[in-house]
Amino acid sequence: MINIKNEILNILKNNIAIDEETILNNITEIKEKNKGDYTFPCFVLSKILKKSPNQISDELKNSIKTNEIIEKIESVNGYLNFYINKELLIKEVFNEFDKLKDKYGSSNIGEGKTILIDYSSPNIAKPFHIGHMRSTIIGGALYNLYKFLGYNVVGINHLGDYGTQFGKLIEGYKLWHDEYNIEENPIDELTKIYVRINNLCEEDEEVLERCRNNFKLLEEKDPYCVELWNKFKELSLKEFNRTYDLLGSKFDSLNGEAFYIDKMPEVIQILEKNNKLTESEGARVVDLTDAGIDTPCIIQKSNGSSIYATRDLAAILYRARTYDYYKNIYVTGSDQILHFKQVFEVAKYLDLDEKYINGLEHVPFGMVRLPEGKLSTRKGNIVKLEDLLNDSINHAKEIIKEKREELENIDEVAQKVGIGAVIFNDLYNSRIKDEVFDLKEMLNFQGETCPYIQYMYVRINSIIEKYDKKVLINEIDYSKLNDELTYNIVKLLYNFTDTIILSTKKSEPYILSRYLIDLARAYSSFYSNNKVLSDDIDERNARIYLINIVGNVLKVGMNLLGIQMPNKM
């Protein structure tokens, strides 16, 4: 498809004394009506040319020429405004859709590059809490977005499956396993055992010693301890998978922390060789004051054991070698910002090629705030994600039932709406902001919500179904599409790929979510003012084709966020 910014660049570049990238970065879309489509601010040139923006813009206006796609140029108060040949743009978008269908919007800019996304990563034998929900949802969306751009993407669930707590859990299990219904309700029951053994450890030094010994045995691969540890892992995953199934999450690798046990000595060796390890209160640490980080990164505790950061460093080594990654992205809560700053800094001393250091990216997010009431966290009682998701599905079901009692497959629809609402809400704001989890808001069909978009999509489909004739691209009379509301839609459709690219560049799926709301809204105004099934057959065909593209982009866009679309609702 035609690249408008490049077209404008071509018009400008021989007349402007700055590099092409700067020109491109300064060309922006105009959002107001009737002022043109794109603008280039000339004040970026004033310093170099020592002239006022107005003068530059007026002079440029006289020396540059329009072309096929840019049909008019205006100089207004130091800005050059460009007007697009509307019919040509509509044709471009329609032909591109005809060619690509549900691949419309995709790209191959990622070809040959591997992106790792480390996301979800819950801790086994502990509840899958709402922070892990955010990581799962944001990471999952990034996964899909990168894939759609042609990258090779590897989703890694870096399970928290290692640590001294497993020595305790093994002890507790040995003592009391037949008192608990572990098979049926593994995480709750294992948590209870863990709390109980912890209490016992506080009273009884001997028990604590046994726990420590269990952990040591586990590290030495003692068969019985390994067997129990495997069991905890399997049972936890079985429970996590219920949540993953609801959210539609998939992973390519489940290499968790334990996977790196035998890969940590090398990290220590390299850091030692590079003289980066110093002693601090018995521990071995890397001092990071030169990098402006006050807290040193502990690599080995005083008792010789490794920590979370050591395993992350081993993982970076492993991932660089195994995947030759272009980017290695970590999606976690913002409470881990310092951790990743430290780890990325220490990684510079692992003798890796610089590209692997540049490819490290932490994608932090804010907390989830639950409304007061039955869902709020009571003391010592963590809200389970699975319950929240089911709550949303039930709510959705009630709402849909009220609207459409006769609807078939109501359970399936309620699931798509209920889960979609949770996902969309999670992805609707800049991720660093705290998220408000308010079911009523999320399921408001008139709000900036998932069901709003799903509903528009279903409406579009029902019109297309009613028409019951497949419109071919060569039947389209473009002169029937010359109204402003149509053009608004087409401009958005044109921006689909760029929106996805920007979402990945900033690791912000909300850019796509908001785009989809804009598109649904643009469709809604179009629909309120235009009869799609017009009596004029050419108008009807052209409009059907248009709304078919809208429906497709809504669906593909929502799928990229991880949301399923109902056919009816």
Nearest approach in angstroms of CB 256 to ligand ARG is 8
What six digits make up the tokens of 269? 């060796």
Q: Given the rule CB under 6 A, which of 117-125, 188-196, 432-440, 521-529 is the region that contacts ligand ARG?
A: 117-125
Choose the stretch contacting ligand ARG; rule: CB under 6 A; options: 49-57, 118-126, 513-521, 530-538.
118-126
Interacting residues with ligand ARG between 387 and 426 (CB under 6 A): none
Cβ closest to ligand ARG, residue 130 vs residue 197: 130
What CA–CA distance (Å, rounded) separates 373 from 158?
A: 33
Helices (H), 76-164: 86-100, 130-148
Nearest approach, Cβ of residue 114 and ligand ARG (Å): 17
Q: Are 158 and 255 in contact (CB under 8 A)?
A: yes
Give the separation between CA 421 and CA 417, rounded to whole angstroms. 6
Per DSSP, what are the bridge partners of residue 331? 363
Instruction: Give bridge partners of residue 368 from the DSSP assignment.
Output: 435
Q: Is 279 helix (H, G, I), strand (E, B) or coil?
A: strand
**Phi, psi values for residue 530, rounded to 5°:** -125, 140
* Closest to ligand ARG by CB, 79 or 330: 330
Question: Which residue among 312, 345, 508, 539 contacts ligand ARG (CB under 6 A)?
Answer: 312
Contact 347, 360 (CB under 8 A): yes
**150: exposed, middle or buried (C-beta count within 10 Å: 0-12, 13-18, 19+)?**
middle
- At its nearest, how many Å lie between ligand ARG and the CB of residue 310? 11
- Give the residue, chosen from 121, 300, 504, 513, that forms a contact with ligand ARG under the rule CB under 6 A: 121
CB of 216 vs ligand ARG, minimal distance in Å: 22
Q: Which two tokens stand for residue 218?
A: 């586990």
Kindly write down the DSSP assignment for every residue of 79-99, as one continuous string: EEEEEE-HHHHHHHHHHHHHH
Please answer whether residues 549 and 438 qualify as being in contact, where contact means their C-beta atoms are separated by less than 8 angstroms: no
Q: How far is the CB of 249 from ligand ARG (least distance, A)?
A: 15
Q: How far is the CB of 311 from ligand ARG (least distance, A)?
A: 8
Nearer to ligand ARG by C-beta: 346 or 522? 346
**Tokens standing for 401?**
């039932």
Cα(208)–Cα(215) distance, rounded to whole angstroms?
11
By CB under 6 A, which span of 54-62, 115-123, 502-510, 516-524 interacts with ligand ARG? 115-123
Q: Tell me how many helices (H) and strands (E) the chain has.
A: 22, 13
Q: Minimum CB separation from ligand ARG for residue 429, in Å?
A: 22
Out of 328, 332, 342, 552, the only residue in the binding site for ligand ARG (CB under 6 A) is 332
CB of 258 to ligand ARG, least distance (A): 12
Burial bucket for residue 262 (CB in 10 Å: 0-12, 13-18, 19+): exposed
Which residue's Cβ lies closest to ligand ARG? 160
- At 329 the three-state DSSP class reads strand
Nearer to ligand ARG, 116 or 511 (CB): 116
Q: Which of 330/452 has CB closer to ligand ARG?
A: 330
Fill in the per-residue mask, 130 to 169: x = in contact with ligand ARG (CB under 6 A), - = not in contact.
----------------------------x-x---------
Q: Using alpha carbons only, what angle is made at residue 270 by residues 267 and 276, rounded to the nearest 5 degrees?
A: 100
Quote the DSSP letter at residue 449. S
Q: How far is the CB of 248 from ligand ARG (least distance, A)?
A: 21
- Give the whole-angstrom CA distance, residue 433 versus residue 368: 9
> What whole-number distance in Å separates Cα of residue 255 and Cα of residue 261?
11
| Residue 254 Cβ vs ligand ARG, minimum distance, rounded to whole Å | 13
Closest distance to ligand ARG from the beta carbon of 366 (Å)? 15
The distance of closest approach from Cβ of residue 179 to ligand ARG in the complex, given in angstroms and rounded to an integer, is 28
Please select the residue that binds ligand ARG; options are 7, 37, 92, 118, rule is CB under 6 A: 118
- Residue closer to ligand ARG by CB (options 140, 551) is 140
Q: CB nearer to ligand ARG: give 107 or 336.
A: 336
Residue nearer to ligand ARG on the CB measure, 332 or 497: 332
By CB under 6 A, is residue 330 in contact with ligand ARG?
yes
Q: What minimum distance in Å lies between the beta carbon of 337 and ligand ARG?
A: 12
Each residue 8-37 as x (binds ligand ARG by CB under 6 A) or -, in order, gives: ------------------------------
CB count within 10 Å of CB 529 equals: 11
Binding region for ligand ARG (CB under 6 A) out of 120-128, 147-155, 264-272, 524-532:
120-128
Size of the site for ligand ARG (CB under 6 A): 9
Helix (H), strand (E), coil (C) string for 410-424: HHHHHHHHHHHHHHH
Query: 105, 497 in Cβ contact below 8 A?
Result: yes
Radius of gyration of the chain (CA): 28
Which range in 25-33, 121-129, 271-279, 534-542 contacts ligand ARG by CB under 6 A? 121-129
Identify the sign of the CA torsion 213, 215, 221, 227: positive
Residues lying near ligand ARG in the complex (CB under 6 A) = 118, 121-123, 158, 160, 312, 330, 332
